[in-house]
Chains A and B, each alone.
Chain A
Amino acid sequence: MIRRSLILDVLIDLIVRTAFVFSVFLLFAGHNAPGGGFIAGLVFGIALILKYVAGGIDELRAVLPVSPETLLGVGVSLALLTGVAGWSWGESFLESTIVELELPVLGVVKATSALPFDIGVFIVVVGLAAALVTSLGEKAVDR
């Protein structure tokens, strides 16, 4: 059994939680401020790696209960579907549109069809990080 450091555990736990929230913020802020799906996915991915460093593969799976393959598939499909949806409101594949919604607490929210596309990018990048950590991590464990 690997000896675990309590300080490291707690610290990483704090950092990881913050990073998860921050990545979601980056994802939604991305259209108007620095950020976006790719960057958000990287932040999330790094948080996953930290989690792995602290707790190993089991804790990583506890945080991310879906397999990397699922993430990769869902992400690409989501982006692709956004593209296909472009046909329904415009002439061409991936054509974007802007929707203004009135939500109960948040008031008027402007959303573009680029957001689901960006979420797809985000999921793929997270899936990539998860794939690399699980495969490189698992492989290396007993060598």
Chain B
Amino acid sequence: MISVLVFAGAVALVCGVVGDRLGRRTLLVGALAPAAMVAWLLSVSGEVVSRRTWVPAIGFDIDFRLDGLGALMVALVGGIGVLVFVYAWRYFDDRGGLGRFTAYLVMFSGAMFGLVVADNLLLLFVFWELTSITSYLLIGFQDDSAAARAGALQALLVTAVGGLAMLGGIVLVAQAGGTYSLWDLLADPPSTVAAGTGLALILVGAFTKSAQFPFHFWLPGAMAAPTPVSAYLHSATMVKAGIYLIARLAPVYAALLTWWRPTMVTVGLVTMLLGGWRALAQRDLKLLLAQGTVSQLGFIVILVGVGIPELTFAGMAMILAHALYKAALFMVAGIVDHQAHTRDIERLGGLGAVMPLTFAVAAVATASMAGIPALLGFVGKEAALEGLVHERLWGVAAGVVAGSALTVAYGFRFLWGAFVATTYDDVKDPVGPDVTPPRLGFVVGPALLVLLTVVAGVAPALVDGSVVEAARSVDERAGGFHLAAWHSFGLPFVLSTLAVAFGWLLWRHPLSRLRLVTVRVPEATRLYAAVLTGINRQATSVTATLQGGSLPVYLGVIMSVTVIAPAVVMARHWIPIPRLVLAESPVQAVTALLVIAAAFGTVKARRRMAAVLFLGAVGYGVAVLFVIQGAPDLALTQLLIETLVLALFILVLRVLPERFEMVQSRIRSFARLGISLGMGLMAGTFALWAAAGRVHPTLAGEFLGRAEHEAGGRNVVNVILTDFRGLDTLGEITVLAVVAMGVMALILAGAPDEDVDASATDGHTENPV
């Protein structure tokens, strides 16, 4: 499993590096990653487990496990992934940035793969957040569009806040259960209050990810993404992550926690009805589908969330069915957008005549979504209704029928509005029969998905095995059901028919015109905006208070803290300092005196240049002291740093006044004097105190002994830097790199425009704006 992830990473890297030279073909290279997932899935059988210890101290191990549900999800991530990549190859014109785009999309597929095969919950969380981040990058791919940036940020904030809640929940549950393994926690579920709270938090994460009420609003915002992304992330895979987790947890915890079932049913139903209702009011094909996806996700949450075997089984079927038809519909919306340059239902019409194949694909996918017999959507919905009838959950069944009616209605609206309608409601610039038909390669992806929908609808036995295995893997009892193309003319079928009939009425009836002017539910988007504005305002005022912009005040505060905090500790745990030697040799004494003199010179200098030179003298003097003590590496470093700093100071001095400003107030100058003296005293005393306080033997002997034969180096200082303490050094150079970037950004950000242009055109520095 790790090899699949590594391969995806490598593909992403290649695409990112050479992608822009390959143009659109990069996407075909990218398709290798999901293809590898499919190939890997076909090559394994049964449960696959892979374990690797990573951070045992906190239970963070790289443990993977593939079971039935995982396999179903991997099939979706890989299979639909390949089709999406091929589709995107036709969707994009040759343009810049496709390498970056492909790399993100490949990274997403890898993260999603990891998510559904992760056993360790912390590992799952990492992949979970990776999908959020790649989703952010993909939604914001058109980074010159404000809507795309806003949508991306909104999606990231909502899902990341949920992810954070989930992390808290994971820790609570794992602490209660004594393990971070998802499978172990399911086999032996903790039932303490803390575990219950933890599960509630995990559900918050799952609800945000799967766009459940009241977190549903980010999904329509995410429609600013290129359509392949919407088809892949925001209908087929990523939004199923929450459902995946709920499906795993529900069979065990629905029985343990009293609030579990009511929560699932309420959240699911509200989401299903709200999304369906909103979908009816949309003019944009993609927004319509997005709201429809919200609605369908609500439906699936009910099914897998209540933890009833038959419904769990139906939920698995719906996960598959929904991924197939919704991805196809999104692709169709993208084809329409690409050919007609608009997604506005009111402007579109009559496309069925010019692109019959696309129309056929859209029609079948919509029919599957609406639950028309002989299609996979019908099989899934029928299984769900049958389960609800068996369990006598009449209220839920009524809600589901209402939701399905809405689904049928917006399905008609989608299909009719784009492909059939020829009358336009007072729209100035209709788009219709003069649109050029798409190329065949463009339609192949959705056509294959639809073909599978039809085949699986007529002969469900084809996918029955996978669905049964998926259901069995979360709940042994849920594995005893089977998909059937046709049940009977029983109650479930009556309900299905009712839903279709109501949906048709809802769409046809003139009353439905009212839908656009009906009472507006307060929108969650507004709440989100209000929270965001509030936080920003708060942050601004806090920053204004704490960061006044005065360098002397900052330094004063920092130094005062540095003096006072250790001084308190030293005073409370005083260690007698042994008798000190003033100097070991005359050279040492002379150098020390020179350093002291230079320090005085620094303070007394009136010109900045003179002060800098004196400061340099202090540094060089200290370097000489190091040499006398026999530390050539240290001395060399000190010398070089002093030189570098001196040179940089001089570069900066060019823009500063020649002389220091004199401090006017006496109080201020006394305060500065006090802080400086305190700092000096502190540094000296602390060094002595720390040296006197040693209780453990030094590591020097051990390092010296091990440097040569273990690390192959005789310079122990260098061996410590690059080997014994290599991780520290890695951290330090990372800090250096970040600081360097920060300095460049800070300084160049304020540069006049012509500077910015000049540096941007020769590619030497990034445009800081």
Contact = CB atoms under 8 A, between A and B. Distances in A.
Interface of A: 30-39, 42-43, 45-46, 49, 53, 61, 67-69, 72-73, 75-76, 79-80, 83, 93-94, 96, 98, 110, 112, 114, 117-118, 120-121, 124-125, 127-129, 131-140, 142-143
Contact of A138 (B643, B712, B719, B751): B751
A129 B713 contact: no
Contacts of B736: 72, 124-125, 128
Nearest to A129: B644
Given A94-B726, A132-B651, A140-B654, 8 more contacts: A30-B715, A46-B640, A76-B734, A96-B712, A135-B765, A137-B651, A139-B747, A142-B755
A39 B648 contact: no
Contact of B652 (A38, A83, A127, A136): A136
Nearest to A130: B740
A68 B636 CA distance: 24
Contacts of A42: 637, 640-641, 643-644
B647 interface: yes
Given A69-B741, A73-B737, A96 B723 contact: yes
Given A36-B721, A46-B647, A69-B765, A75 B713 contact: no
Interface residues of B, number: 50
B733 A118 contact: no
Contact of A136 (B632, B643, B648, B755): B648
Given A137-B651, A140-B655, A124 B644 contact: no
A96 to B, nearest CB: 5
B728 to A, nearest CB: 10
Contacts of A140: 651-652, 654-655
Nearest to B737: A72
B740 A131 contact: yes
Contacts of B743: 131-132, 135
A118 B764 contact: no
Contacts of A93: 727
B195 to A, nearest CB: 33
Dominant SS at the B interface? helix
A72 B317 CA distance: 50
Given A42-B640, A83-B730, A143-B655, A134 B764 contact: yes
B491 interface: no
B633 interface: yes
Contacts of B712: 31, 96, 98, 110, 112, 114
Nearest to B746: A135
B632 A114 contact: no
The 10 A-B pairs at the shortest CB distance, nearest first, are namely A42-B640, A31-B713, A114-B722, A131-B740, A72-B737, A36-B718, A32-B714, A135-B747, A34-B632, A98-B712
Contacts of B733: 75-76, 79, 120-121, 124-125
A132 B636 CA distance: 21
Given A36-B717, A110-B712, A127 B737 contact: yes
B748 interface: yes
Contacts of A138: 747-748, 751, 755, 759
Contacts of B555: none
Given A33-B715, A39-B636, A79-B733, A72 B740 contact: yes
B748 A39 contact: no
B76 to A, nearest CB: 31
Given A30-B718, A46-B643, A140-B651, A68 B751 contact: no
Contact of B633 (A34, A76, A135): A34
Contacts of A124: 733, 736-737
Nearest to B724: A96
A121 B766 contact: no
Contact of A38 (B637, B648, B755, B764): B637
A79 B711 contact: no
A30 B713 CA distance: 9
